[in-house]
Amino acid sequence: MNNKFNAPMMILVAAIALAGVGCGNNKMAVAESTAVVVDSNNSGTGTIPTSPDGSGTNTGGTTTSYSNEGTFTPVSITELNNYIGTRPVNDPKNFKLKIQLSDVGNGRYAGTVSMSYTDTGVTYTGSFTAGSGKNASYSGLKDNNTLEAEYNRFFTSGGKTVFTGFFQDQWGGVVLVVDNVISQGDAQGGTIVTGSLYYKNFAQSYATQSPYRKCWFIYDGPYNCRSGSVINKSAVIPNDGYRKLGTFSGISRAAAFQ
């Protein structure tokens, strides 16, 4: 795991360990001026920026810069609390989503998806990862020598270029969905991406997590975060118990997917 906690979270970690509860904690992302909205049909996307990758001048004459960090709009406060699982939020704002991925071969992307938000003056950050290496080979285990990021790739769905991929922290798995790749028409062929984040918290359990496999390679039990639609690329929205956390926008594809 990355260092996702600051000092105020240490007591919370201890509480989780004592209770044996696997659940999402502080993980998120959106600008302070962006209102939290309810997306009842589970299909909303963020606002589509009109400037190209990097810095550019919009119609108002101001300069806008796009990078691998963008805005995130939670589906609702209720869903956010369900995702965090360990404490209710008070006045969350300044949500951000950051994508740091690299092609590790054959169009598969490994790296980190980070979410942060500020609540009553404290910033909470959660980081989810997919490693750049391959699964270790052990007798009796499936998916030996398979890329850990095997299912993290772009594909075509409904005539559009989209992306789905798994990432994990110690409390659960998330699926990053890019449902729109927007060309800005600049000379460098810049594009931005918009999409959604889905989550699946681990079930309460006293069992130990596997040190050999990420949750998308675990086929049953409390630490299984598999989704057939992500694995088979049969749909953009993950199935098998995933819930939509929110939408993101304004992220440079070139900066996020290297």
Stretches where the chain sits below pLDDT 50 are 1-63, 187-189
Domain residues for the domain of 93 are 24-256
Q: Residue 6 domain-assigned? A: no
pTM confidence score = 0.76
Q: Residue 30 domain-assigned? A: yes
Domain count, the chain: 1
| Contacting residues for 1 by C-beta, under 8 A, at least 6 apart | 127, 129, 169, 170
Q: Residue 59 domain-assigned? A: yes
Q: Residue 104 domain-assigned? A: yes
Q: Residue 238 domain-assigned? A: yes
Encoded tokens for 162:
């989209």
Answer whether 222's CB lies under 8 Å from 204's CB. yes
| Contacting residues for 125 by C-beta, under 8 A, at least 6 apart | 4, 6, 26, 27, 114, 115, 116
Q: Residue 7 domain-assigned? A: no
pLDDT tens sequence across 9-52: 433 333 333 334 333 443 433 333 233 333 333 333 332 222 22
Q: Residue 16 domain-assigned? A: no
pLDDT tens sequence across 87-107: 899 999 999 999 999 999 999
CA distance 199 to 96: 16
Q: Residue 19 domain-assigned? A: no
